Copies of this chain bind each other. A is one copy, B any other.
Amino acid sequence: MRFEAVTIKDIAKALGLSTSTVSRALRDSYEISPETKKLVLQYAESINYHPNPIALSLKERRSRSIGVIVAEIANSFFSQTIDGIESVANSNGYNVIISQSRESNDKELVNLNYLTSRSIDGLIVSVSAETKDFSSFKELFDRGMPIVFFDRIVNDIDTHKVIVDNYKGAYDAVTHLIGNGYTSIAAVSGSELLSISKDRLEGYKAALQENGLAVNDDMIKFCPNGGRVLEEVGQAVTELLALPTKPDAILSLSDKLTTGCLRILKSQQISVPGQMGLIGFSNSDLTELIEPPLSIIKQPALEMGEIATNQLLQLIESKRPVTEFETTVLEPQLVIRQSSAKKHI
C-alpha cells in the first residue's frame, strides 16, 4: 500500500516544460515569464502538488526535523513542555520527533543513536535520571549537532539551556513552610545525579540554615527513579517516619514524587497537613482537586519548551558557528494551598 504523490516531473510532462522551468515557476524565481509561472502554479494547484520534503532534505542536507528526548511523555511537566516545543517548531516549518528515556541511560543512548541516524537537525534534551556519563551528548555536540538542554541540564556542555530557578523554588517553599510553623522539614528528592536535584537541595538547605534550622542528612532521601516506582517513595517516607525526630513537613522535589509522597502518607493514615505538611514541585493541573489541595512549586513548562525550541532553531539556522551560549532562568511559581497550611501547635 503506497501513497503516490505528484512530482515536478509530472507537471513538466503535462505542460511540455522542463523540470527546471517548473521548479523556477514554483519557487517564484525572477528568471521566468509571468505566463509560464501562472500556468505552472495553476496546474500545480489543480493537481494538488506538494514538494517532496525528502528530496529537499537530501538536496539541502537538512531534514527540518528536531529530536526531543525526555524521561516520559505521560508526565504533566514534560507533556506541557512538548506542547511548547511542538508549537514553535511547527510554526517554523519543523517537525518534532519525540522519544522517551523512561529514566534509563541505556534507552536514552538508543534514542540518541536513533534520532541522529534519522538525520535530525538538532536536539532538545532533558536527561534521564540515570545518566552520569554525558560523553555521547558531548561528542555529538562537538561534531556539530545543535543541542539545547532544559530542566535536567548538563553543566559540562556549553550550549543553550532553559531552566527555572530551582534553588529559589525550593528556597521559597521551605521558607514558606518555616513561616507556617514547621520546624523539622525533610526533602524527598529524585536522582542525585540530576542537576535539578542538586539545585533544589541547595535551596532547601539554604532556607533551613538562614532560619537557624540544622541541615540533617537523614532528612534527605533520594529516589533514583524519581517516583516512577512507588516503592522507592514508600521506602523514603517510611525511613523518614522512623527517624528519632520525625519530620513535620516534606518538601518533594519533582512531579511524581509529590503525588507519590501523598499516596504513601495517605496509605499510612498520616493526615496532611495535620501530621505532616507537604509541598512539592508539580505541574499537574489536578493538584488543586486533591485532598488536601496540594501546595506546589510549578514550572512554566510551556514557556520553557518554547524558549528551548527558539534557541535551538537559532543554533540550527545560524550561518556561522555559535560560541556564545545562554542559560535562560525562569521564575518558578509558588502555589500555596492546604497541604502546607499553618501548623497548629
Contacts of A315 in B (CB 8 A): 1
Closest residue on chain B to residue A57 by CB atoms: B54
Q: Could you say which residues of chain B place their CB within 8 Å of the CB of A114?
A: 90, 95
A73-B82, A96-B97, A322-B1 known; A54 vs B50 contact (CB < 8 Å) = no
0 or 1 for each of A272-285: is its CB under 8 Å from B? (1 = yes): 00000000000010
Min CB–CB distance A280 → chain B (angstroms) = 13
Asked whether A245 is an interface residue with its Cβ less than 8 Å from the other chain, the reply is no
| Pair A98/B100 contact, Cβ less than 8 Å | no
Kindly state whether residue A99 has any CB partner on chain B within 8 Å.
yes
**A132 sits at the interface (CB 8 A):** no
Contact A61 B318 (CB under 8 A): no
Asked whether any CB of chain B lies closer than 8 Å to the CB of A263, the reply is yes
In A6-54, the 8 Å CB interface with B consists of 50-54
Choose among B57, B62, B76, B144 the residue that contacts A74 (Cβ–Cβ < 8 A): B76
A4, A5, A114, A263 — most chain B CB neighbours (10 Å): A5
- B263→A289 contact, CB < 8 A: yes
- A55 vs B119: C-alpha distance in the bound complex, in angstroms? 10
Asked if A3 meets B259 with Cβ closer than 8 Å, knowing A54-B63, A97-B97, the reply is no
Judge whether A143 is part of the interface by a CB distance below 8 angstroms: yes
A286, CB-defined interface residue at 8 Å: yes
Known: A79-B73, A289-B266. Is A61-B2 also a contact (CB below 8 A)? yes
Q: Is the CB of A99 within 8 A of B117?
A: no
A296 at the interface (CB under 8 A from B): no
Question: B95 contacts A96, CB within 8 Å?
Answer: no
Q: Is the C-beta of A242 less than 8 angstroms from some C-beta in chain B?
A: no
Q: Does A83 contact B (CB under 8 A)?
A: yes
Q: Which residues of A in the span 287-337 have a Cβ within 8 Å of any Cβ on B?
A: 289-292, 315-316, 318, 320-322
A345 close to chain B: CB less than 8 A: no
Alpha-carbon separation in the docked complex, A78 to B259 (Å): 21
Q: A73-B82, A74-B83, A259-B289 are in contact. Are A316 and B1 (CB under 8 A)?
A: yes
**Contacting residues, chain B, for A95 (C-beta < 8 A):** 97, 114, 118
11 A-B contact pairs sorted by A residue (CB < 8 Å): A3-B121, A3-B144, A50-B117, A73-B79, A73-B83, A74-B79, A79-B79, A83-B100, A95-B114, A96-B97, A259-B286
Residue numbers of A with Cβ under 8 A of B are: 1-5, 50-55, 57-58, 61-63, 65, 72-76, 79-80, 82-83, 86, 90, 95-100, 113-114, 116-119, 121, 140, 143-146, 259, 262-263, 266, 284, 286, 289-292, 315-316, 318, 320-322
